[in-house]
Structures are given as C-alpha cells and as structure tokens.
C-alpha cells in the first residue's frame, strides 16, 4: 500500500509538472485559457478543499478602509499635520487607505487602466515577445505566476512587470510596450510625486524629520510596476486571483478598475476594498513595517477570482534601493529603552530574495526571519 501511494504521488507530480510546462510554454497565460473557451479551470489552479474553506469563510462587508482627502495638503501647517495624523491612524489600524484629490485626474487614471488592458488584449504574437521567466534581470516582461512551478495552486492572473529595482530606477522607454508606453511614462512621474508626498506625511505623523523616509526609500531609485490582468473565471470558488501576502516594499500605490476583488485582512476578517472613482489605494510593505518598529502595519491582502471581468489593476511598488550594501533597520528615533528594536539589520536584496525563494501561498509575512532573538542585539 505504501509503495502504491508513493507511485501515485510521483504520477500526480509528473502530471502536474506536464500541465504547468504546457501552460508556460504556451506563453499566453490565463487569458489564453479563457480565449480557448474553457468551461472548467485546469487542475493546476484548483486549491485544496481545506484551503478554500479557510480563504472564503471569513469575509465581511460591514466596514471599509479609510478614505483620506489630500485636497488641503500644503495649504497650511495645521491642515497638513491633520492629514499626516489621519494617515498614521490608518497605517496603524489597517495598513491600507484610499486617497482622493491626489492631483492625478480621473480621466488620466482611466486612460492608464484602458491602455494597460490593451496590452493584455493585443494580438498574441506581439504579447508573446514580452513573455519571460527571467524576471531577475529583464527590465520589462510578461508572465503568469512568478512561482508557477513551486506553488500549491496557480493564481488566476497575468502580469506585465516593469522592474526598475536593480538599475537605479531607470528603464529605457524603448523597453516598454508601444501600446501603453506614452501613458506609462507619464504615470511613472505622477506616482513618484505622490509617493514622495505620502512618505513625507508619514514622516511628519511619526514625529521624525519630514525627509527622513524619503531619504531612506529613495523612491526614484528603485521601483516596479505590477500590471495585473484578471480574466473572468468560470469557477471562481475554486481558485484565487492572487494569494494573501504582504508586499516586500516601503509603500505600494495601486490603481484598480471598478470591478473590485481586492481584500485586506483586518482583525482576522477579510474586508472588500471597494473601488472609489478617481481614488488610489495606498498600502504599506514589510520594509516600512520593520524600520518603524511595528508602528506601521504591513497588512496581508489578496484578490479573489470573479465570474465578471477582466479586472485590471496597476500596483506601483516603492522597493528601496536594491543592494546588499544598503542596510536598513529600525529608525533610531522610533526606538528607546522602553521600546527597543524588534528587527535586526537587513538589506532590500536579502528581503526580496527571501520572498522569491518561496511560493506566494507559503511566504506569509515572513518577518520572523528578521526579528532579533533579544531586543537590542545586533544593532
């Protein structure tokens, strides 16, 4: 019996690998399956029953993430301080908020969504030219599931990545897809400006120098765009759009369309983040969580698969300088004898390698690896 079970398990793994390989070599991702007219999702996307029960049993619609208005930013010291206070409250309680009146027009955001969708819906041969699993070195690439070969179940999404993490924040415009190049270049400038303002407001709210977090993060030196496309799913109850995770970033600014599906974990309940017209979502990642010594929360979030679609979202990640030599740790002004450092020193490179070494559905918040055994040691 044991021999038979071992044989069956080897056969199951062999069959799964062949299914993954065929999917990968097709270079069309999830949209290719939908275009082929499938009525049931392939096994590689199906989550185990116990996993599904855990994921879908704890959703609530009774509350929503804070919405913060930046209309009065910079008007005077008191108004700016009040906005900073609101952001810190949201950061501590949720790790998420939505921002309105941020200075980017609703019309431009709609254009960004539409042109990004056009990349995913253009002719397949053009799109295939961007397909690659060499995501450590390529600055721009298209992929479905970075962890395809070592996840328990694949996620129902395709992604166009723009990776300016390892080359000083510079991407050659000619590397960007022609179909969305011009609007993407303009969007990059807008979001850099907004990111700088948000980090300044967080610094003010924490009572540290206004430029402190901006100087640490160096937003314009290391960033990435994660342009995700979630086709309508014939069996959304069996899979996920993207697994629950905490971003490996300082800050993420997300633009989503009006379909919804993004959820944040709040007090052990999954909460829907409903789209706000003209709004952008801001969430905090592991780096900011650790260097603020747990003051700011890096919150777990996910995207559920839906029967309606496609859903389009564009996440702009401020990652911090990608280097083994640029060392981070809890900010000195935020620690004391009564509040000693919780985390050891680390580099962004170390953190990202830790993230990529695991599948998304097993990575969790993976902060235990960076905690000090005894507060105060190693710093």
Model pLDDT for residues 299-321, shown as the tens digit of each residue: 999 999 999 999 999 999 998 76
- The three-state (H, E, C) secondary structure of 60-104, written as one string: ECCCCCCEEECCCCCCCHHHHHHHHHHHHHHHHHCCEEEEECCCC
Which string of DSSP letters, residue by residue, matches 135-153?
A: TTT-SEEEES-TTGGGSSS
- Highest mean pLDDT range out of 56-65, 192-201, 352-361, 369-378? 192-201
Residues 236-241: what's their mean pLDDT?
94
What structural domains and CATH numbers belong to the chain?
A: 2-370 (2.60.120.330)
* pLDDT of 323 higher than 90: no
96-152 pLDDT, tens digit per residue, is 999 999 999 999 999 999 999 999 999 999 999 999 988 777 899 999 998 899 888
| Residue 347 confidence (pLDDT) | 80
In the chain, the percentage of residues whose pLDDT exceeds 70 is: 87
Q: Confidence class of residue 353 from pLDDT cuts 50, 70 and 90?
A: confident
| Model pLDDT, residue 377 | 45
Flag whether pLDDT at 69 surpasses 50.
yes
Backbone phi and psi for residue 249, each to the nearest 5 degrees, phi listed first = -145, 175
- Asked whether the whole model's pTM tops 0.85, one would answer yes
């Amino acid at each position: 019996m044991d021999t038979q079970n071992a044989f069956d398990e080897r056969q199951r793994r062999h069959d799964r690998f062949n299914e993954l390989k065929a999917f990968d070599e097709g270079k069309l991702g999830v949209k290719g399956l939908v275009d082929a007219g499938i009525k049931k999702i392939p096994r590689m996307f199906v989550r185990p029953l116990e996993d599904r029960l855990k994921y879908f049993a704890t959703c609530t619609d009774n509350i929503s993430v804070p919405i913060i208005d930046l209309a009065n930013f910079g008007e005077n010291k008191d108004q700016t301080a009040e906005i900073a206070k609101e952001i810190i409250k949201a950061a501590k309680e949720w790790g998420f908020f939505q921002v309105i009146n941020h200075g980017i027009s609703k019309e431009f955001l709609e254009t960004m969504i539409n042109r990004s969708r056009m990349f995913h819906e253009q002719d397949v041969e053009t799109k295939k030219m961007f397909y690659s699993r060499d995501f450590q070195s390529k600055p721009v690439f298209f992929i479905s599931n970075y962890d395809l070969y070592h996840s328990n179940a694949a996620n129902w999404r395709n992604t166009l990545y723009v990776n300016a993490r390892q080359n000083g924040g510079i991407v050659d415009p000619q590397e960007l897809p022609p179909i969305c190049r011009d609007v993407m270049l303009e969007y990059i400038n807008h979001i850099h400006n907004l990111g700088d303002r948000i980090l300044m407001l967080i610094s003010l709210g924490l009572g540290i120098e206004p430029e402190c977090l901006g100087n640490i993060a160096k937003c314009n030196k290391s960033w990435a765009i994660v342009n995700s496309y979630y086709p309508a799913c014939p069996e959304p109850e069996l899979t996920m759009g993207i697994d629950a995770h905490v971003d490996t970033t300082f800050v993420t600014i997300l633009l989503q369309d009006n379909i919804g599906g993004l959820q944040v974990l709040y007090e052990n309940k999954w909460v829907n983040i409903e789209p706000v017209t003209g709004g952008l979502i801001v969430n905090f990642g592991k780096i900011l969580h650790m260097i603020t010594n747990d003051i700011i929360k890096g919150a777990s979030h996910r995207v559920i698969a839906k029967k309606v679609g496609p859903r389009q979202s564009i996440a702009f990640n401020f990652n911090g300088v990608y280097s083994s030599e640029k060392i981070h740790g809890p900010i000195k002004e935020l620690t004391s004898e009564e509040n000693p450092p919780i985390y050891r020193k680390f580099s962004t490179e170390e953190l990202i390698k830790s993230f990529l070494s695991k599948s998304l559905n097993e990575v969790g918040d993976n902060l235990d690896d960076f905690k000090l055994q005894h507060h105060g040691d190693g710093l």
